[in-house]
Amino acid sequence: MITYSIWNNKGGTGKTSLTYQTVCRFADKNPEKKILVVDLCPQANLSEILLGGQENNGSKNLLINQGEIPRSSIGGYFDLRLSAPFTPPDFSAKDYITTPSKFNSAVPENIDLVCGDPLLELQAIAMNTLANADIPGVNAWLAVIDWLKDLLVLVEYDYVFIDTNPSFSMYTQIALAASDRVVLPVMADDSSRRAIQNAFSLIYGLKLPSEVYAKYTFAKKLNDAKRVLPKVHLIIKNRLTQYMGTSSAYNAVLVGINSDLKDLIKHYPQYFTFKTPQEGTLDVRDFGTTGVVAFARGCPFYNMPTGKLSLAGQRVQVKKEARNEMVEAIDQIVAAL
C-alpha cells in the first residue's frame, strides 16, 4: 500500500480539486486497484464532490454518512479514539468507510472514502491535550499521531490518498505520519514560494528561525521514535495562466521556486523521491469554467459531457477543447504517481 498526502500549509493552491480529479482519473485508468480516499479536512469539500457535488446532493449525502451510528467519517473514527487514545480498541474499519459510487455514478467503483468532518476542529483541541500527556512508559504524542495509521493497518488497499487542511494541526500531522509520499501543490506567486520553504521547516525541521524550536519539530519526534518521514514525490505548479512568456512575472517566480528546490535536493536528497526539479515538478494550467462545472456536478473531467450544461439552474458552456486540455493535464499527474 502506497499512501500519499496532498498538502501545503498555504490555502488556495488547489489541493482538493487536484485530489478529486487525480484520484478519479487514477482509479479509472487502474480499475484493478483498490483506492481509499481519506478526507482529513474539516471543510470536507472533497467528500461533498465525491458524493455528488452541489448539483447532485453531495452535501446531503455527506450528512447521511455523518448521521450514521457510528458516524461514518474521520470524525466518527476519532471520536472512538478519544476514548481509547493510546491503545487501539477493537473496532471495524468498515464502519467509517463509504463507497462514493453508491451516491455518485460518475465516480469509479474502485474508490472508497473516509468522509471529512467539521468535528476535526473540536477534536484537535482534545488531541493536543492527549498528545502532551505525561504517562510513564507511553509516548503519548506518537500514540495520537498514529491514529490514522492504526486504521489503515486494518484495511487492504493498493493506494491511499489523503486530502489535508492548509495547516499543521494535529490532524494534518496524523495524515503526514501515515504517509509515504507528499504531493505539494503551489501557485506562481511569492507566497507559494515561501510556502515551500515553510513546508520543509514544518515537516523536516529545516531552516528553522531558531534552534529553540528544533526539539519540538515533527521530524525530531518521528526520528526519535525511529520512524521514517514521508518523502516529497511531486510538486504541482497549479493554476498557471494561459499566457506565460519567459519575461512574465509568473515565470520569474517559477524560476525562483525551481532554484529553491534545486538547493533543497542538493542538501537534503533523502527527503525526495526525485533527483532534479524537472523530474519532480509539473505545470498545470487554470481549470477555469470547466473546473467549476466539474466540481459542482461531482463529475471528473474524463467523463464530463461538453456543450451546454445545467449549473444551478443556469446554462453554461463547456468547450470540448478545454475539457480535453484538462484531461491531458490530469493524465500527466496520474502518470507521475
Query: With contact defined as beta carbons under 8 Å apart, do 184 and 230 qualify?
Result: no
**Which numeric CATH code is attached to 2-336?**
3.40.50.300
- CA 257/CA 300 separation, integer angstroms: 30
pLDDT of amino acid 274: 93
- Grid coordinates in use for 207? 531552516
Query: With contact defined as beta carbons under 8 Å apart, do 258 and 277 qualify?
Result: yes
For residue 306, CA distances in Å to 56, 58, 330 come to 18, 21, 17
Indicate the domain borders of the chain.
2-336
pLDDT of amino acid 34: 97
* Phi-psi domain of 68 (left: phi exceeds 0; alpha: psi -120 through 50; beta: other): beta
pLDDT of amino acid 84: 95
Q: pTM of the full predicted structure?
A: 0.92
- CA 320/CA 305 separation, integer angstroms: 8
- CA 12/CA 145 separation, integer angstroms: 26
* Tens digit of each residue's pLDDT (9 = 90 or more) over 98-121: 999 999 999 999 999 999 999 999
- Residues of the chain with confidence (pLDDT) below 70: 10-13, 188-193, 208-214, 239-255, 310-313
- CA 25/CA 23 separation, integer angstroms: 5
- Grid coordinates in use for 17? 480539486
